[in-house]
Structure 1
Amino acid sequence: MNILFRFLLIVVVAASCAKPEKTDFYMPAEWEPHDAVWLGWEDEYESYHPVVFNVIHALMPHVQVKIAVDSDSLMRVAKHILSEHSIDTTRLQFYVMPGERYWIRDHGAAFLVNSKGELGVADFAWNGYGYPQWLQEKFDNNVDSVNKYFKPVRTKMTGQVDSLMAIAENATALKTWVAHEGGAIEVNGKGTLILCEATVFKRNPGKSKEELEPEFKRVLGVNNIIWMKQGLADDPWHFMRRIADNYVGGGTGGHTDEFVRFANANTILLAWVDEEEKALNTINKMNHERMSENLEILEAARDQDGKSFNIVKVPLPDLVAKKVVARETVDDWKTSLDMRVRSFKASEAPHAGDTVLRVPASSYMNYLVTNGLVLVPTYTNTGSSPEKEERVRKIFATHFPGREIVFIDAMALNWSGGGIHCSTQQQPQRKK
């Protein structure tokens, strides 16, 4: 992409931010009709590709698929690889958006609609999942170390992707200073939003609910906010973390799309560990405690009309814990599950040569709903109970009637702290 085009792109982004805001925009529920579903593409993480192929194959009969890439050259590579896997790329729409990375829901556009048939975008600030704050914690506020690893230019570019998506769709951008990710937004389309304290406050240190809530309400068009306390234990904040005992992992620190989702305007699905499973391992025990606390909050909560919710417990898959080795160097760290000692903060780090139990951010809750379809992760390939997965299938069939339920193995994404929902972003149908 030449320098002139990049300059024009920046000018257009700045101009779009100056457009007058319209206050009747709101985020529809995910089960409402979609005009498209977006995905991102990063060629360097080849382990993700089989998941991407399966997701695209499943989506294409139901909805327009749009793919954002960082550069023209990467777009050509993506088209070639997708074509080799029997995907008709002429039916896909590609967009070159500098700064684009794989997890498009988190840094990309959170689409809105209004009663006039217009499209909007909630343009949140982006700080790489609170990366500067994580570096400060990891290096005990050592400024030199923080500056060494934090790349503000790359972060800024990725933070402009939602604005570029707004431009591509001629949507109005509602900008906010609040730093937040799309995987941490859960709405019922009627005025209620679910947030998680663990993620919101890590991204916005020093800010209070009283400061944050008006901005969430303004840019998402909601009037009622429910605050969860913590997400899943196997979704810790950033990489790598010692979760407890010898269990290690990494993730977002509590995205709602890992543990709490609306199935309809008045029904909430909550990740759950049954009583008889909580003593099987430390992770199960932690998740049982966390979700029990969240259940109490949800039972006391009310929707935008003052009504209580129907809460459905969705079992978590059986824990996957892979023995891996901590090393000083890992040559193929993008594909290997072994970990570099320096990826940890000092107080949590294993010694080089230690064997630890790495756990993925695995959850049936990281699903995507679109036109006539629900994409749900499967875990029977990694040893989870088929009987449990059948219970999950019945829950989804009950609460998303008339939609095809398709299970996809997304474990490659789980090892990186994400899943199917994190990899996709729905573009709602404009109101007629």
Structure 2
Amino acid sequence: MAWRMPAETAPHERTWMAFPVADNVADTSPEETALTFAAWAAVANAVVEFEPVTILVDASALGEARGLLDPRVEVVECPVDEFWMRDHGPTFVVDDERPGVLGAVDWTFNGWGAPAWAHWEKSAEHARFVAERVGAELVSSALVNEGGGIHVDGEGTVLLTETVQLDPRRNPYADKRRVEAEMARTIGASKAIWLPRGLTRDYDEFGTNGHVDIVATLTAPGKVLVHSQRNPEHPDFEVSREIIALLSASTDASGRTLEVTEIPAPSTIRDDEGFVDYSYVNHLVVNGGVIACGFGDDEADATAREILEAVYPGRRAVTVDARQIFAGGGGIHCITQQQPAVAR
């Protein structure tokens, strides 16, 4: 078997999500919970305009989910605690030697490093649940990893972050060679590009310790889109400069020097908790479109749409307000997971 993770730009069968549960919302006030429910539903409703959506919903949230979701969104009852589907759900792969075969990588998930606040036992089963439902071959992995911790070009290149896969709370015995070998086995990556770190906010108590999918993404072979914080008052001003320089000097699996496109951060640099990590990199590519994060900054949101439509030719960018999602520790990409289309 030669598993390969297709690029996000490859055709999708559908997008998978998990609906929030009230007990696991960061601020469990009824108002905060309602806002979180509405934010997840808004993303699902935007995606279903482009492709099918299936969302796993805990029995405790079925009423709220059905009341908020577009009727075209398929609701599947399943136990849920964490609801960041990119991270605890399957990473889908294909086998080019066996056309029509779909695989599902089941990374070991420990709630982003087993912090005291995380409850992940139910959602850690989602990869197996989804794989069985779609008839995918399960690809088990002992590596503690999350889907938000990787980005691929579909041709052998993977972006990683040293503070995620090498995090001692996740993989205390891992080194780069071991991680790269597992990436080759599970997703067909022959070239890893390691970023030294992620964005500043992502190292707070409720962060992921540096997920790459908020920092940079491979938009096409040889091309990378990078978060650019242009306000020198923000600590990510230096972080993004360092990462842009690193990627500009990097080559992909085919030996091409990466062509870097910068996507500016919105003007907001703080919220009540400190410096924000608002990033337009955390978008979802769908069939014929791009679901983009919005931050209530009309000018910056519009600029982001223009850039996204330029780096993904032929796709229409749609903005969904992502501030409530970011308040919980992630963005639109973090709560979605694409299933590639395969010939049946």
Instruction: State if a TM-score over 0.5 links the two structures.
Output: yes
Q: Distance in 2 between matches of 1:169 and 1:256?
A: 27
> 1:130 pairs with 110, 113, 127, which one?
113
Is the partner of 2:179 in helix, strand or coil? helix
Q: Distance in 1 between matches of 2:16 and 2:9?
A: 16
> 1:295 pairs with 221, 224, 244, which one?
244
Per-residue deviation, 1:289: 1.7
Bigger mean CA offset, 157-166 vs 289-298: 289-298
Please tell me whether the aligned partners of residues 33 and 428 of structure 1 are also in contact (alpha carbons under 8 angstroms). yes
- Superposed, which structure 2 residues align to 1:66-81 within 5 Å? 66-71=54-59, 73-79=60-66, 81=67
Q: Distance in 2 between matches of 1:52 and 1:157?
A: 19
* Structure 2 residue aligned with 1:82: 68
* Structure 2 residue aligned with 1:420: 332
Is the partner of 2:53 in helix, strand or coil? strand
Q: Residue deviations 1:90-114, cap 9 Å, x none?
A: x332223334532111100111122
Please tell me whether the aligned partners of residues 364 and 376 of structure 1 are also in contact (alpha carbons under 8 angstroms). yes
Q: Give the 3 Å change call, closer, same or farther, for CA 168–237 of structure 1 in structure 2.
A: farther
Identical pairs, percent: 30
Is the partner of 1:159 in helix, strand or coil? helix
- The residue type equivalent to 2:135 in the other structure is N
State TM-score, norm by structure 2: 0.90
Gaps of 5+ in 1: 1-22, 136-148, 240-250, 324-356
> 1:64 pairs with 52, 74, 81, which one?
52
Q: Distance in 2 between matches of 1:427 and 1:412?
A: 25
* Structure 2 residue aligned with 1:166: 131
Q: Distance in 1 between matches of 2:343 and 2:190?
A: 20
Q: Distance in 2 between matches of 1:388 and 1:42?
A: 28
> 1:265 pairs with 184, 203, 221, which one?
221
Per-residue deviation, 1:28: 0.6
- Superposed, which structure 2 residues align to 1:12-411 within 5 Å? 23-44=1-22, 45-71=33-59, 73-79=60-66, 81-82=67-68, 87-88=70-71, 91-99=72-80, 101-115=82-96, 116-131=99-114, 134=115, 155-202=120-167, 203-239=170-206, 251-274=207-230, 277-278=231-232, 281=233, 284=234, 286-323=235-272, 357-379=273-295, 381=296, 384=297, 386-411=298-323
Please tell me whether the aligned partners of residues 25 and 112 of structure 1 are also in contact (alpha carbons under 8 angstroms). yes
Q: Distance in 1 between matches of 2:277 and 2:328?
A: 8
Please tell me whether the aligned partners of residues 361 and 417 of structure 1 are also in contact (alpha carbons under 8 angstroms). no
Per-residue deviation, 1:211: 1.8
Please tell me whether the aligned partners of residues 105 and 182 of structure 1 are also in contact (alpha carbons under 8 angstroms). yes
State TM-score, norm by structure 1: 0.72
Please tell me whether the aligned partners of residues 113 and 431 of structure 1 are also in contact (alpha carbons under 8 angstroms). no
Q: Give the 3 Å change call, closer, same or farther, for CA 387–64 of structure 1 in structure 2.
A: closer
Q: CA RMSD in A?
A: 1.9
- The residue type equivalent to 1:297 in the other structure is L
Q: Distance in 2 between matches of 1:412 and 1:158?
A: 21
Q: Distance in 1 between matches of 2:130 and 2:6?
A: 18
Q: Distance in 2 between matches of 1:396 and 1:207?
A: 35
Please tell me whether the aligned partners of residues 56 and 80 of structure 2 are also in contact (alpha carbons under 8 angstroms). no
Please tell me whether the aligned partners of residues 102 and 423 of structure 1 are also in contact (alpha carbons under 8 angstroms). yes
Q: Distance in 2 between matches of 1:161 and 1:415?
A: 24
Please tell me whether the aligned partners of residues 46 and 320 of structure 2 are also in contact (alpha carbons under 8 angstroms). no
- The residue type equivalent to 1:400 in the other structure is Y
* Structure 2 residue aligned with 1:18: none
- Name the structure with the higher helix share: 1
- The residue type equivalent to 2:175 in the other structure is S
